[in-house]
C-alpha cells in the first residue's frame, strides 16, 4: 500500500510542482498580473465558502485528524487547494508549496485507512501521506519521513509509521523525478573547520536563525488573529490586504528593490549561485509571506522559510568570517526547523540538499534553534509532548 501511495502522491506532486514553476515563469513575464491579486483573493474566498467545508481548515485539519479531533479529510481539499495555490502564485502572492503537498498526500493516503484493520491505521496512513507529499515535491525522502513522524507532536517520534512513511517517501521522490520534476540541490564543496572558534560561531548562527524562524511563527500567529478581529469579513479582508500587497510588491519590483512574489526561489537561486543577497531580503520576504497568508491566500510556508534562511545566511556570513554558501545552507535548514519546531527533518534537509560534509554543523545549528520555545510554531494544531 505504501508503494501505491508513493506512486499516486508523487505523480500528483509532479503536476502541482510543475504547474507552480510554469505559473511563476508566466507571472515574471507578465508582471501586471500582480495588480489583480485582490480580485484573485475574492475568487479564492468564494471557492472555499462554496466548496471548502472542513477543508477550509487546511493544515489545521491535518493536525486535527492526527490528534483524533476529526475523523475524515474531504477529498475536495486536493483540487481546491491546488487550484487556489496556483491562483495565489499567478497573481503574485508570497506563499510556498510544502504545506499544500503535505495536505494533498495526507488527504489521499488517509482515504485508505478505513479499509485496513490495524492499530492506529488513521495516524499511520496520515503520516505516510504527509511524508509522501513532502518527498514528492522536494525529493528529500529522509527529511520527509522524519518531518511526518515528528511534526504532529513536538518531542515525540511516531515510529509506528516509520516503514510505510519511508517507503512512500522514496517512491514519491523517484516518481516525481522520473516524471520530470527536478530537485533543488547545491552540493557544497566548502566545509567548515572543526575548531572551538568555528563551533561557537555556528552556535551563534543557530541562535540567530532560530530567532528568525520564531519571528516568522509569532508574526504569522499574531497577524492572523489581528486581521480576523479587525476585518472579520473574509472578502473585505482579502480584498484590502490583497490590494495593498499588490501595490507594494509591484512598486518594489519595478524600482529594482527586489522581487518578493511567489516561492522565493529567485532569492534562493541568487544566494547559492551568486553568493549574494540584499541585507533586507530576508525580513521583506518574511513580512510579505506573513501578510499574504494572513490575508487568506493559499500556499505553504516552507519554501519562503528556506529563502529567509538562505538570504539571512548570506548577510551574516561576512560578519563571522565564514563561507557564504555554507552559512546560507545552515540558514536554509535551521530557519525551517525553528519555525516548524522540528529537529531531525531540517538536519536531514541540510544533508539531502547540500551534501553531508557539513552535517555536524547542521546538527549544531538546528539543535540550538530547536531549543527555543517550542510553542512558537507555524502550526497551531501542533502539540508539545508532556515531560
What is the residue extent of each domain of the chain?
Answer: 2-178, 196-384
CATH topology of domain 2-178: Clc chloride channel (1.10.3080)
Whether the CB-CB separation of 272 and 310 falls below 8 Å is answered with yes
Domains 2-178 and 196-384 share a fold: yes
Whether the CB-CB separation of 31 and 250 falls below 8 Å is answered with yes
pLDDT of residue 118: 85
Report d(CA 265, CA 276) in Å as an integer.
14
Which residues of the chain fall below pLDDT 70? 387
- Integer-rounded Cα radius of gyration of the chain: 20
Q: Nearest 5°: phi and psi at 182?
A: -85, 150
Q: Which CATH number fits domain 196-384: 3.40.50.300, 1.10.760.10, 3.30.9.10, 1.10.3080.10?
A: 1.10.3080.10
Q: Locate 157 and state its grid cell.
A: 517520534
Report d(CA 252, CA 31) in Å as an integer.
12
Q: Which residues fall within 8 angstroms of residue 327, CB to CB, at 6 or more apart?
A: 205, 313, 314, 316, 317, 320
pLDDT of residue 114: 86
Count how many Cα atoms sit within 13 Å of the Cα of residue 178 in the half-sphere of its side chain.
10
pLDDT of residue 387: 67
Q: Locate 366 and state its grid cell.
A: 538546528
Question: Would you state the torsion angle of the CA atoms of residues 79, 166, 59, 48, taken in this order, to the nearest 10 degrees?
Answer: 0
Q: What letter would DSSP give residue 49?
A: I
Report d(CA 332, CA 267) in Å as an integer.
11
Amino acid at each position: 500500500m505504501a508503494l501505491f501511495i508513493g506512486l499516486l502522491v508523487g505523480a500528483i506532486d509532479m503536476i502541482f510542482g510543475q504547474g507552480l514553476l510554469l505559473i511563476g515563469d508566466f507571472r515574471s513575464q507578465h508582471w501586471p498580473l500582480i495588480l489583480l491579486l485582490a480580485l484573485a483573493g475574492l475568487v479564492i474566498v468564494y471557492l472555499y465558502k462554496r466548496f471548502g467545508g472542513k477543508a477550509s481548515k487546511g493544515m489545521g485539519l491535518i493536525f486535527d485528524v492526527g490528534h483524533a479531533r476529526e475523523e475524515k479529510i474531504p477529498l475536495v481539499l486536493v483540487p481546491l487547494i491546488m487550484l487556489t495555490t496556483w491562483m495565489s502564485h499567478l497573481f503574485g502572492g508570497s506563499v510556498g508549496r510544502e504545506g499544500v503537498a503535505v495536505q494533498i498526500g495526507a488527504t489521499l493516503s488517509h482515504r485508505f485507512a478505513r479499509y485496513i484493520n490495524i492499530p492506529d491505521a488513521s495516524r499511520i496512513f496520515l503520516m505516510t501521506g504527509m511524508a509522501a507529499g513532502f518527498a514528492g515535491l522536494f525529493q528529500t525522502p529522509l527529511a520527509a519521513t522524519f518531518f511526518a513522524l515528528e511534526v504532529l507532536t513536538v518531542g515525540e517520534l511516531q515510529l509506528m509509521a516509520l516503514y510505510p512513511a519511508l517507503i512512500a517517501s522514496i517512491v514519491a521522490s523517484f516518481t516525481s523525478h522520473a516524471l520530470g520534476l527536478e530537485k533543488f540541490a547545491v552540493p557544497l564543496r566548502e566545509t567548515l573547520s572543526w575548531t572551538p572558534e568555528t563551533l561557537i560561531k555556528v552556535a551563534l548562527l543557530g541562535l540567530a536563525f532560530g530567532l528568525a524562524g520564531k519571528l516568522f511563527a509569532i508574526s504569522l500567529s499574531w497577524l492572523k488573529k489581528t486581521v480576523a478581529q479587525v476585518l472579520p469579513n473574509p472578502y473585505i479582508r482579502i480584498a484590502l490586504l490583497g490590494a495593498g500587497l499588490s501595490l507594494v510588491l509591484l512598486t518594489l519590483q519595478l524600482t529594482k528593490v527586489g522581487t518578493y512574489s511567489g516561492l522565493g526561489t529567485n532569492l534562493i537561486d541568487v544566494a547559492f549561485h551568486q553568493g549574494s543577497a540584499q541585507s533586507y531580503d530576508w525580513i521583506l520576504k518574511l513580512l510579505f509571506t506573513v501578510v499574504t497568508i494572513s490575508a487568506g491566500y493559499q500556499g505553504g510556508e516552507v519554501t519562503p522559510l528556506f529563502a529567509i534562511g538562505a538570504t539571512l545566511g548570506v548577510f551574516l556570513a561576512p560578519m563571522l568570517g565564514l563561507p557564504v554558501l555554507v552559512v546560507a545552507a545552515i540558514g536554509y535548514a535551521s530557519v525551517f526547523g525553528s519555525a516548524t519546531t522540528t529537529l531531525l527533518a531540517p538536519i536531514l534537509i541540510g544533508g539531502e540538499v547540500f551534501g553531508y560534509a557539513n552535517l555536524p554543523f547542521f546538527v549544531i545549528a538546528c539543535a540550538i534553534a530547536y531549543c527555543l520555545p517550542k510553542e512558537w510554531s507555524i502550526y497551531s494544531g501542533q502539540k508539545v509532548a508532556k515531560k
